[in-house]
Amino acid sequence: MNDKTNENLVSVILPSFNRAWALKDALDSVFSQDYPHIELIVIDDGSTDHTQKLLEKYKEEYKNKLIVLKQENSGVSAARNAGIKNSRGAFIALLDSDDTWDKRKISCQVAFFKRHSEALICQTEEIWIRNGKRVNPKVKHKKPSGMIFEPSLNLCLVSPSAVMMRKQLFELKGYFNEEFIVCEDYDLWLRVSSTIPIFLIDKPYTIKRGGHKDQLSSFHSQDKFRIRSLSALLESNSLTQDQVEKTKKVLKKKCTIYGNGCIKRGKEEEGEYYLNLGLSV
């Protein structure tokens, strides 16, 4: 990890894989922030489109603020982890390549941390855009604030593009699990929220765009990875007894749903495995 930490600097970590079509909007939203102390670390995760050509133009204009890392395609977790480990800021903000920020996003969160010296992580509210149209999140997606472990067991209630954390959080809780193709955020936020409050700033300063064909969640079963995450959490022996009971309850439910789904799709062996896993919890 880079030891030269700047106490006022926010390191923005932006992984991208063949997202040149969306990357310009994300870059522009970072460089238009009204907070001046920012470094942007873009991790090109083995793109084969014109990502590098696009980044070259930005490097010319923002050479003192933009760092570009290039790696063989290793997934979003490895890309984020590489960016975090090469960062110099006391604060880390994550941004997905298809999302954007209101210009006040970073300054709002920095001000929150200045007011709350004990806080390690916070997130903003979001505006959801699906296929170019604004949509309203369902009640189950409503973000709580504070100790959010229990409601986070069922589904991820923290958006990577909305969070900012003190860099020390990763020293306390570890990094993104690089074996996870999807739900790597669900996995990390559960580890965090089991002992650390995740605060909500009630400002919709993150614009979350979805519905496009290359979203990873469209290709992989999220429950399969959530089951892995919950199982690992139980094996860690880091939860309170109450947290253990609540985690087991959700794990049983997800194993039953996923196992039955496998059987319906003709994957009987896999289905039986997950049904038996649920029974053994």
- Per-residue pLDDT at 219: 47
Domain limits at 252?
A: 222-280
Per-residue pLDDT tens over the stretch 68-87: 999 999 999 999 999 999 99
- My answer on whether 128 and 262 are in the same domain is no
Residue labelled with tokens 């090469």: 86
- My answer on whether 57 and 24 are in the same domain is yes
Tell me if 247 is assigned to some domain.
yes
Mean pLDDT per block of 10 residues along the chain (281 residues) reads: 75 96 96 97 96 95 94 96 97 97 98 98 95 86 94 95 98 96 96 98 94 57 94 96 98 96 95 96 91
- My answer on whether 67 and 175 are in the same domain is yes
Domain closes at, from 218, 242, 266: 218
- My answer on whether 10 and 139 are in the same domain is yes
- My answer on whether 78 and 99 are in the same domain is yes
Domain closes at, from 172, 201, 218: 218
- My answer on whether 233 and 213 are in the same domain is no
- Per-residue pLDDT at 212: 62
Tell me if 248 is assigned to some domain.
yes
- My answer on whether 178 and 105 are in the same domain is yes
| 18: region left, alpha or beta (phi > 0 left; psi from -120 to 50 alpha) | left
- My answer on whether 180 and 243 are in the same domain is no
- My answer on whether 184 and 274 are in the same domain is no
Burial 13-26 (b: 16+ CB within 10 A, else e): bbbbbbbbebbeeb
- Per-residue pLDDT at 1: 45
Q: Which residues pair with 257 in a beta bridge?
A: none
Domain closes at, from 218, 249, 264: 218
Tell me if 1 is assigned to some domain.
no
Q: How many domains does the chain have?
A: 2
Burial 109-143 (b: 16+ CB within 10 A, else e): bbebbeeeeebbbbbbbbbbbeeeeeeeeeeeeeb
Instruction: Give the SS3 label for residue 275.
Output: helix
CATH number of the domain residue 89 falls in: 3.90.550.10
- My answer on whether 87 and 54 are in the same domain is yes
Per-residue pLDDT tens over the stretch 166-206: 999 999 999 999 999 999 999 999 999 999 999 999 999 99
- My answer on whether 128 and 238 are in the same domain is no
- My answer on whether 263 and 186 are in the same domain is no
